[in-house]
Chains A and B, each alone.
Chain A
Amino acid sequence: MSKTLAAKDLSRRQFVITVAAGSAAAAALSVVSPGAVFATEDAKTLDEAIKSIVGDKELMDGADVITLDLPQIAENGNTVPLGISIDSPMTEADYVTKVHLFAAGNPRPDVASFNFSPSNGYAEASTRMRLAKTQDIVAIAEMSDGKAYMTRAEVKVTIGGCGG
């Protein structure tokens, strides 16, 4: 095992640079990583995606109404946990009807729409999504009184490293 300690000859900084350069090159050469790379022909903008779902409805600032539960940094863009929670009494008279989720930086921004009813008790749901890169997640909540709120939050997506 005379080779055991050979890596010590490399300073930490050199090590990081060497490996980083290696994996960057490997990433560039390896063409596709499943789920992370998208073809672009059907790409839609965020505005188009929102319009096709909520039309021209006025979207009020939902920062105090909608809570997005997201990691600040996602370890892997293929599986990013996402929770939403809307401040609503969830009664027959006043409840959240729908929540639409978009990933602004994905080539296809649509993620999911949740259809709630007063029977949910809490206007909360969670899922896991794919993010192509660091980007904003946009949430729109539609209420039973016809109002709609929008908010957004950024998720940084880790790329590179020990992608093996």
Chain B
Amino acid sequence: MRHRTAVLAGAVGLGLGFVGIAFTEAGDWGDYQVGDKRSGYTYAQPETQAMQDDDFENPAFLLVDLAAEQWTIPDGTAGKACADCHGDVENLAGVGASYPVYDEGWGKMMNIEQRINECRTENMQAEPLKYDSKGLLGMTALVKLQSRGMPMNVAIDGPAAPFYEKGKEFYFQRRGQLDLACASCHEDHSGEQLRANRLSQGQPNGFPTYRLKWQNMGSLHRRIKGCNRQVRAEPYKSGSDEYVNLELFISHRANGLPVETPSVRN
């Protein structure tokens, strides 16, 4: 006899008004599936899905809440807060669905984490936040949260095109002592068991994610590093050009899937 407070699974999660996703039959994943693209949510166990369905139970929101407080607090020698330029954080709806984007000044791609740090160093005259620090994770998640439920919509035309090609090359390049490419697991074998885990399609639409293994929130680049180590390849640095280009490729690959940040994953 369990007295659970009713939770609108999924409806709370994505704000799209669908209910009970976690209990539908396999193969019918509502908005978590678009065509043959399936969110990592659909590979998770019901208990993990439940942790994402209710924002209160999702520990990622501990960092999101802190970032929301930071939003209006000035930092750096310019004496500016995020809110001084952007107003309400809600004004950034849609932004999180479209990154990485080509930045003229950089002459290359920039992801949300880098955009935030660019704002800090250029406009606020503040120190950049360390990749995978609580501050940067929380702020990245807060920004992407404003796009939650919106379809991923990453452009790869124009100046982004050559970077997309580099990301694609990385994705299909075999590497490490196990000689496996990203595609070896996430294209050719997704849905199959890898020892006790089920391989997902490696979709990035829920990052930064609260990961059970980490018992904390982590970035997409941290996850990719883990993948690289798993095939016993030397990982690149978080925020490296290699990973940002890969992020561009897999984010475009996820186009159409709803932004789920901050998701909960194994």
Residue B133 at the chain A interface, CB threshold 8 Å: no
The distance from the CB of B103 to the nearest CB of chain A, in whole angstroms, is 27
Contact present for B181 and A7 (CB under 8 Å): yes
Identify the B interface with A (CB < 8 A).
Answer: 1-3, 44-48, 50-51, 168-169, 172-174, 177-178, 180-181, 183-185, 187-189, 192-197, 199, 212-215, 223, 225-232, 266
Given contacts A15-B189, A76-B212, A162-B227, contact A23 B195 (CB under 8 A): yes
The chain A residue sitting closest to B178, CB to CB, is A22
Knowing A3-B173, A164-B230 touch, does A75 contact B212 (C-beta < 8 A)? yes
Structural contact, A160 and B196, CB atoms closer than 8 A: yes
Closest 10 CB pairs of A and B: A164-B226, A161-B197, A76-B212, A79-B212, A158-B196, A7-B184, A160-B195, A164-B230, A75-B266, A161-B195
Q: Which chain A residue lies CB-closest to B228?
A: A164
- A162 to B45 CA separation, bound complex (whole angstroms): 15
Find out whether the CB atom of A162 lies under 8 angstroms from the CB atom of B230.
yes
- How far does the alpha carbon of A53 sit from the alpha carbon of B52 in the complex, in Å? 35
CB within 8 Å of B: which of A1-32?
1, 3-4, 6-8, 10, 12, 15-16, 18-20, 22-24, 26
How far in angstroms is the closest Cβ of chain B from A164?
2
A1 to B169, alpha carbons, bound, how many Å? 7
List the A residue with the shortest CB-CB distance to B197.
A161
Give the distance in Å from the alpha carbon of A15 to the alpha carbon of B177 in the complex. Answer: 14
Q: Which residues of A contact B189 (CB under 8 A)?
A: 7, 12, 15
> What are 20 A-B pairs at a CB distance below 8 A?
A1-B172, A3-B172, A3-B173, A4-B183, A6-B174, A7-B189, A10-B184, A16-B194, A23-B195, A23-B230, A26-B232, A73-B45, A74-B47, A75-B266, A78-B215, A79-B212, A79-B215, A162-B227, A164-B229, A164-B230
Give the distance to chain B from A63, nearest Cβ to Cβ, in Å.
14
Instruction: Output the least CB separation between B12 and chain A (Å).
Output: 17
B230 and A7 contact, CB distance less than 8 A = no
Q: List residues of A (52-93) whose CB comes within 8 Å of B's CBs.
A: 67, 69, 71, 73-76, 78-79, 81, 83, 85, 87
Contact assessment for A7 and B183 in the assembled complex, using a CB-CB cutoff below 8 Å: yes
- Contact yes or no, A67 B194, CB < 8 A: no
| Chain A, residue nearest B199 (CB) | A162
A21 vs B144: C-alpha distance when bound (angstroms): 37
Sample of 9 more A-B contacts, CB < 8 Å, known A22-B177, A23-B195, A122-B3: A7-B180, A7-B183, A23-B194, A79-B212, A158-B197, A161-B194, A162-B185, A163-B230, A164-B230
Q: Cβ of A15: which chain B residues have Cβ within 8 Å of it? A: 184, 188-189
For residue A34, CB closer than 8 A to chain B, the reply is yes
Contacts of A164 in B (CB 8 A): 223, 225-230
Q: Give chain B nearest CB distance to A41 CB in angstroms.
A: 23
Q: With the chains together, A85 CA to B4 CA distance in Å?
A: 11
Q: Are A83 and B2 also in contact (CB < 8 A) when A1-B172, A22-B178, A75-B45 are? A: yes
User: A163 touching B178 by the CB < 8 A rule?
Assistant: no
> Shortest beta-carbon distance, B166 to chain A, in Å?
12
Most chain A beta-carbon contacts within 10 A, residue among B178, B196, B229: B196
The CA of A10 and the CA of B193, in the complex, are separated in Å by: 16
**A34 to B216 Cα, complex, angstroms:** 12
Asked if residues B213 and A76 are in contact (CB atoms below 8 Å), the reply is yes
Interface-central residue, A6, A7, A16, A83, by most chain B CB under 10 Å: A7
B178's partner among A16, A18, A74 (CB-CB below 8 A) is: A18
